[in-house]
Amino acid sequence: MKLQISRSMFGVICLSAAIGLLLYWVMFMNVLPRILRPQASWVLPLISGIVGASCSALFYFAAINLMPSFKWKHKVGSGIVFVRCGDGVLVRTSGGKPIMIHRSFPVKPVLPAKPVRTQRSSKPSWIRALKTSVLVAAVMGGYFMITYAFGTFTPFIAVPSGSMSPTLNIGDLIFVKGVDAEQIHVGDIIVFNVPSPFDRTTPSPIVHRVVEILTENGAIYFRTKGDNESEMDPWIVPSGNVVGIVAGKMPMLGYVILYLRNIYVLASIIAVLAFWTLYPYLKRGGK
């Protein structure tokens, strides 16, 4: 049995695959232990480029298969239908009365021609698809350029708590710059993943200030504390858990990221985008 899939359904599949691949890769990069990155400094950008190219291709195929559903449909204009008898003699016109036949000549039967449906050129759809692909590629390319410039795959973080108040407040968007452990000094504000076993109860990443630097067997560790906390953190942060240092901030802009982290808000946005994408397909009855 041959499986047939409409263009709209194929476009929906490509769009879903692109979004799923992109979300999976972003989540993977957020949970990837920092300790693996020095050994894979060239592998990760290569894989990121492959994933970005794959997502761009999937978005492109989704666009060119979904955009045609937005084209204007033109009805075929009404015309005159000639009805002939078995000998090919004209006996009636569409909506008319039988006509008088004074003299008939045998002619070959003429098969009724199928009406030709006129449509607009598909060029605008290709242009829209190309613009969409270029936009997606530009956004992803810009993100990778920013990660390269900041030296970390997490260049932006929203402050989720008031532990660093008044230096950093809830909802501030901070810029994170990746640095080597030797470049971190006491007094620097660092972004780090909570070490085990504290990571079971405390979500990462944490933004706290370095209050002490320890060295053991050539390895560097950090003691941290929130500016608004009375005691130091109970953990010792290995250098491999450090994401980077805080290089700057933009007040209030982090609320956008905090809202998007809410599962209900994210689900609502995905539902709206899915409905907007599937609406032309559903309107045409799945054809």
The residues pairing with 212 across neighbouring beta strands, listed in sequence order, are: 223
pLDDT(98) > 80:
no
According to DSSP, residue 132 is labeled: H
Q: According to CATH, what is the number of the domain 156-252?
A: 2.10.109.10
What is the rounded average pLDDT for all residues in the chain? 73
How does pLDDT run across 19-63, given as a tens digit for each residue?
Answer: 777 777 666 665 554 444 444 455 566 666 677 777 777 777 777
Sequence spans of domains, the chain: 7-71+122-151+263-283, 77-110, 156-252
Across 33-47, 154-168, 253-267, least confident range: 33-47
Q: Report the 10 Å Cβ neighbour count for 171.
A: 18
162/123: higher pLDDT = 162
How does pLDDT run across 76-86, given as a tens digit for each residue?
Answer: 445 555 556 65
As a dihedral over the C-alpha atoms of residue 287, residue 22, residue 172, residue 169, rounded to 10 degrees, the angle is 110
Contact 13, 59 (CB under 8 A): no
Specify the pTM. 0.53
Who's near 177: CB < 8 A, 6+ residues apart?
Answer: 150, 151, 152, 155, 244, 245, 247
31/223: higher pLDDT = 223
Rounded to an integer, what is the distance from CA 37 to the centroid of its chain? 24
- Integer Cα distance of 191 and 89 in angstroms: 89
